[in-house]
Chain A
């Protein structure tokens, strides 16, 4: 019987079985950021432990970085202290830091891949739940808590039990105007926000085969929103081409040897999955969330559901969502007036996301009542986008063009919703209070749908706005 990629990577990285039955798993690559690492360095000092392999940990700043004022000191003294703390910790321990002046700073899940640090067949951990993003390269990547950040710093390992594997097939061709974001929201809508608990999601099928590396990242990014801590796609030529020539990618003879090893880590054709779920690409339409969990989603031509029409277990949360979102059941999602449009985040803040939107918005203007911001996911993305003239296209259409960071994905930097503003967002979480205002309201959708909402001033079908059919 064949093995899954998860089996192979797990076996190779298993150090031993711990007394409580969990695996002591070697973490090949460790990524850290300013929010969840300072306490870990503190614990390390308290315990008198050192960073075991400083060359296997990489740091950047993203969550608290302002996207407009980029010079230090930041106006928020707490944010300023957090950046300086990370800088100090990296300097003291020898960890590589993609710092603000480096030109390589950005959201940790965008920086890892663009540097070529994220590689197939590896294990990756980061104190951030969207670490699942890196699975797009055929890595097994875990979001971890701060005590585990400490564990990985001190021992390059962590204690964990092996998940089961659910294969999720999506086959066929997506219709024009339908994106990876719609695929991932669709999967969560059907399997639920807790459907993935205990599982790693292996995404495959012809839709994934033809996806670009960046599209695969968008889907794996949201595996955690479906309850699966790990999501991955088997590595293939698309993956290798993406990695070729990146700063940390193997070079020369080492490149060829790596590619053959990477190929061998893909799941065997005769492996057995714990579960298999199938979707058809042609069934998927542009999707938006109307509630406070990513599973509370509908197609753009649907209405907000009546709680009575939902399965009983979903009703209480639906009622809570209707109250928070200030929407009524039966109302079409199309036509809801928005106040803010946010294009960015580790889900959709990559170059291809910005390129796709820029292709369509020329000659359009952001609606006067909408505040629209574009936040490139990294300084690397920003630099290329600026060189390509994308920044100019966005500015001309009335979007603000910002510096790299998490920005309005979460309320830890100056970019926040105010009061009960409704935001069309390309990010991954629509939880209550997520975007910085306790009463703020978030609707998740693809970047092009965010742009369409920004221009129209309301949630709307991007295919109609831009004549896509």
Chain B
């Protein structure tokens, strides 16, 4: 299965500040009653957005200045909590194609990579720098370069170093981010392994 090779993501950014933004925040559980992921985009950060609206504030995702942004910026331990793939699915369907944060929770990171959404780590200082650039110019075009390990902004003197585990970079840049094809390739070896493990061999059909 040939997938797109993701080496760069370019787009406008939006900053949702905060540490430990959990998956209940990204998509509250009551919006997960669905048998497909199709309609989840509208529920991204649903409660936080409503809360801001009621308090007379504008949540970054509802701020017209950042409408159409495809790169999400946030704090540390982004995506902690539940394993729900509904979280990256809702961000993806909202339009986000990459996430820059200080750090990511593991399951969220893996779920995002499988959707072809790079999650890259950048220092708090650089995230703050990038956030202030987009605050003053929401149209600033950000480029995440997975091969050069850096984030740059068109026509602005900014360069932030990013890190990402090697396997995820490899998977994204070689177009193997959805692992199903590779896993299916190994099926003969899977059957052999099953036959060699006592608790599986006995009942395997």
A interface, CB within 8 angstroms of B: 12-16, 18-22, 24, 26, 28, 35-36, 38-39, 42, 47, 49, 52-56, 63-64, 76, 78-79, 81-82, 85, 119, 121-122, 127-129, 131, 143-148, 150-151, 154-161, 193-194, 197-198, 224, 227, 229, 250, 254, 257-258, 261, 292-293, 313, 316-317, 320, 410-412, 416, 429, 431-434, 436, 438-439
Q: In the bound complex, do residue A156 and residue B189 qualify as a contact, i.e. CB atoms below 8 Å apart? A: no
Q: In the bound complex, do residue B194 and residue A156 qualify as a contact, i.e. CB atoms below 8 Å apart? A: yes
Q: How far is it, in angstroms, between the C-alpha of A224 and the C-alpha of B106 when the chains are bound?
A: 10
Contact of B85 among A76, A82, A145, A158 (CB under 8 A): A145
CB-CB under 8 A for A431 and B107, given A19-B170, A26-B194, A159-B183: no
Q: In the bound complex, do residue B194 and residue A129 qualify as a contact, i.e. CB atoms below 8 Å apart? A: no
- In the assembled complex, the CB of B64 is this many whole angstroms from the nearest CB of chain A, namely 23
Q: How far is it, in angstroms, between the C-alpha of A229 and the C-alpha of B110 when the chains are bound?
A: 12
Q: How far is it, in angstroms, between the C-alpha of A429 and the C-alpha of B105 when the chains are bound?
A: 15
- In the assembled complex, the CB of B66 is this many whole angstroms from the nearest CB of chain A, namely 21
Q: In the bound complex, do residue B85 and residue A36 qualify as a contact, i.e. CB atoms below 8 Å apart? A: yes
CB-CB under 8 A for A438 and B50, given A76-B33, A145-B110, A148-B114: yes
Q: In the bound complex, do residue B77 and residue A227 qualify as a contact, i.e. CB atoms below 8 Å apart? A: yes
Q: In the bound complex, do residue A147 and residue B85 qualify as a contact, i.e. CB atoms below 8 Å apart? A: yes
Q: How far is it, in angstroms, between the C-alpha of A161 and the C-alpha of B106 when the chains are bound?
A: 11
Q: Among B125-133, B138-146, B149-157, B173-181, which stretch is in contact with chain A?
A: B173-181
Q: Is B200 an interface residue (CB 8 A)?
A: yes
Q: Is B136 an interface residue (CB 8 A)?
A: no
Q: How far is it, in angstroms, between the C-alpha of A414 and the C-alpha of B153 when the chains are bound?
A: 47
Q: How far is it, in angstroms, between the C-alpha of A293 and the C-alpha of B194 when the chains are bound?
A: 40
Q: Is B34 an interface residue (CB 8 A)?
A: yes
Contacts of B115 in A (CB 8 A): 147
Contacts of B168 in A (CB 8 A): 20
Contacts of B165 in A (CB 8 A): 161
Q: How far is it, in angstroms, between the C-alpha of A121 and the C-alpha of B200 when the chains are bound?
A: 12
Contact of A193 among B20, B83, B86, B187 (CB under 8 A): B20
CB-contacts of B41-56 with A (<8 A): 47-48, 50-51
Q: How far is it, in angstroms, between the C-alpha of A368 and the C-alpha of B33 when the chains are bound?
A: 34
Contacts of A22 in B (CB 8 A): 167, 171, 179
- The 9 nearest A-B residue pairs measured at CB: A145-B111, A145-B85, A78-B33, A438-B47, A38-B35, A159-B179, A143-B83, A146-B85, A129-B83
Chain B: interface residue total (CB-CB under 8 A): 66
Q: In the bound complex, do residue A436 and residue B29 qualify as a contact, i.e. CB atoms below 8 Å apart? A: yes
Contacts of A81 in B (CB 8 A): 35
Contacts of B200 in A (CB 8 A): 26, 28, 56
- In the assembled complex, the CB of B76 is this many whole angstroms from the nearest CB of chain A, namely 7
Contact of A412 among B19, B32, B107, B178 (CB under 8 A): B32
Contacts of B2 in A (CB 8 A): none
Q: In the bound complex, do residue A317 and residue B19 qualify as a contact, i.e. CB atoms below 8 Å apart? A: yes
Q: In the bound complex, do residue A431 and residue B81 qualify as a contact, i.e. CB atoms below 8 Å apart? A: yes
The residue of chain B having its C-beta at the shortest distance from the C-beta of A150 within the complex is B180
CB-contacts of B1-55 with A (<8 A): 18-20, 22, 24-25, 28-30, 32-37, 47-48, 50-51
Q: In the bound complex, do residue A42 and residue B36 qualify as a contact, i.e. CB atoms below 8 Å apart? A: yes
Q: Is B57 an interface residue (CB 8 A)?
A: no
Q: In the bound complex, do residue B186 and residue A258 qualify as a contact, i.e. CB atoms below 8 Å apart? A: no
Q: How far is it, in angstroms, between the C-alpha of A292 and the C-alpha of B83 when the chains are bound?
A: 18
CB-CB under 8 A for A39 and B36, given A13-B197, A147-B111, A147-B115: yes
Contacts of A194 in B (CB 8 A): 20, 76-77, 80, 103, 105
Max count, chain B CB within 10 A of own CB: residue among A14, A35, A63? A35
Q: In the bound complex, do residue A26 and residue B29 qualify as a contact, i.e. CB atoms below 8 Å apart? A: no
- In the assembled complex, the CB of A79 is this many whole angstroms from the nearest CB of chain B, namely 6
Contact of B198 among A24, A36, A257 (CB under 8 A): A257
Contacts of B174 in A (CB 8 A): 19-20
Q: In the bound complex, do residue B24 and residue A432 qualify as a contact, i.e. CB atoms below 8 Å apart? A: yes
